[in-house]
Amino acid sequence: MIDLRSDTVTKPTEQMREAMLTAPVGDDVYAEDPTVIELELRVARLLGHEAGLFCVSGSMCNMLGIRLLVEPGQEVVCDVQAHIARAEMGGHAAAHGLTMRTFPSTRGRLQLSEVAKIIAPSAGPYLVSTAAVAVENTHNFGGGTIQPLEELTAVAELCREHGIGYHLDGARLWNAQVATGVPLEAYGRLFDTVSVCFSKGLGAPVGSVLVSTTENIAKARVMRKRLGGGWRQAGVLAAACLYALDHHVQRLADDHASARIFAGAVAACVPTAVVPDAVETNVVVIDTGTVPAAPIAVAAAERGVQVSALGPFMIRAVTHLDVTADDCELAGQLVGKLLSG
């Protein structure tokens, strides 16, 4: 089976498992796990922030990061395809009492003008006040879209001007960094809170880190425990993340190349389905036109290739550590053949 449903499907390598096995550990609720502490500090430094908090998932880091910036009854604004709006099961509202409004985007690409149009800071007694803007880089449902640094900077300035917070869902920020060469710190410093994931393209089994100021992270630590997210000898998991930082970041370039190979093979059969040159990182979104996506995904799985039908006419394929360029070529040919009937 060639599994391109998501980059979350990777299994830890032997070397990663070895690193997990030998990691020094302690009780992280007492802040005594040396491997967790090392990971948190290292990620905070990489992103230009003071402190970090290791959490079970990207969703939890997003929930904590946004809650630090938004009080119950206030809103966070984000684009209509954002993971926080579509795929975090309403957690921000259900657990933290926040509301959300969304602005339109093409392929998830951030535009200052759309953000400026929608924000309502200090909206008074009749309207919900905007307390933060959240941005996703790279953008998952947009198709691995990289946000331009200039636009991110312009929105940071807008937020500062209006005294509102700025959160980055950087689940795949590593992919943006490798594709553009922009240092992680240059992205990270623009934001008040940043979450990054290790369980996507970096191939760790579990784990995300939230970074911010020391004061914010101390508050987030309390909120994490309130959500049931305090954990004990979590160093076995942090060790996998540290291993991934050392060994699996630069190789993301291979995933980006494989994504283009997959897209090229699909486009060779159905040129309208995808533009290979528009594939920016490791996510490929295919427009199935008038052909329903779900039966194509089922037929592909029956023939040994798994992709996701994420909309009635949209298929997503994501490349990762556990597939080769040849796998992606074969998978693209199959999906292309199925699409062309």
Q: Does 83 bind ligand PLP (CB under 6 A)?
A: yes
For residues 273 and 142, give the distance between their C-alpha atoms in angstroms, rounded to a whole number. 15
One of 2, 23, 25, 171 touching ligand PLP (CB under 6 A):
171
Q: Which is nearer to ligand PLP, 28 or 169 (CB)?
A: 169
The stretch among 57-65, 251-259, 270-278, 324-332 that binds ligand PLP (CB under 6 A) is 57-65
Q: Indicate whether 208 belongs to the interface with ligand PLP (CB under 6 A).
A: yes
Question: Is the Cβ–Cβ distance between 144 and 281 less than 8 Å?
Answer: yes
CB of 261 to ligand PLP, least distance (A): 22
Q: Tokens 């900077």 appear where? A: 153
Q: Which CB atom, from 62 or from 193, has the smaller least distance to ligand PLP?
A: 62
* Of 58-66, 108-116, 239-247, 273-281: span binding ligand PLP (CB under 6 A): 58-66
Q: What distance in Å separates the CA atoms of residue 204 and residue 244, rounded to the nearest whole number?
A: 6
Binding window for ligand PLP (CB under 6 A); candidates: 55-63, 148-156, 212-220, 316-324: 55-63
Specify the amino acid at residue 36.
V
C-alpha to C-alpha distance for 244 and 199, rounded to whole angstroms: 9
Structure tokens at 155: 């929105």
Say whether residue 193 binds ligand PLP (CB under 6 A): no
Asked if 266 contacts 279 with a C-beta cutoff of 8 angstroms, the reply is: no
Residues 59-78 that bind ligand PLP (CB under 6 A): 59, 62
Which whole-number Å values give the CA distances from 22 to 25, 43, 205, 300, in the listed order?
A: 9, 21, 16, 40
For residues 70 and 176, which CB has a smaller minimum distance to ligand PLP in the complex? 176
Q: Which stretch binds ligand PLP (CB under 6 A): 51-59, 149-157, 182-190, 295-303?
A: 51-59
Strand partners, 308: 316
Which residue reads 């491997």 in tokens? 35
Cα separations in angstroms, 236 against 6, 9, 205, 283: 24, 19, 11, 29
Is 136 an interacting residue with respect to ligand PLP (CB under 6 A)?
A: yes
Q: Is 58 in the site for ligand PLP (CB under 6 A)?
A: yes
How many residues of this chain interact with ligand PLP, rule: CB under 6 A?
13
Q: Return the residue nearest ligand PLP (CB atom).
A: 58
Order the strands of the 99-103 sheet from edge to edge. 51-55, 208-212, 193-197, 165-170, 130-136, 75-79, 99-103
Query: Closest CB to ligand PLP among 114 and 169?
Result: 169
Q: Give whichever of 7 and 327 is closer to ligand PLP, judged by the CB atom.
A: 7
Complete DSSP assignment for 268-290:
HH-TTT--GGG--SSEEEEE-TT
Nearer to ligand PLP among residue 175 and residue 334 (C-beta): 175
Applying CB under 6 A, does 129 fall inside the site for ligand PLP? no
Give the SS3 label for residue 131: strand
Does 248 bind ligand PLP (CB under 6 A)? Our answer is: no
**Coil, strand or helix: which one is 138?**
coil
Q: Which stretch binds ligand PLP (CB under 6 A): 56-64, 273-281, 303-311, 321-329?
A: 56-64
- Residue of 175, 177, 199, 319 interacting with ligand PLP (CB under 6 A): 199
In DSSP terms, which residues pair with 318 in a beta bridge?
Answer: 283
Q: Which residues bind ligand PLP (CB under 6 A)?
A: 8, 57-59, 62, 83, 136, 140, 169, 171, 197, 199, 208
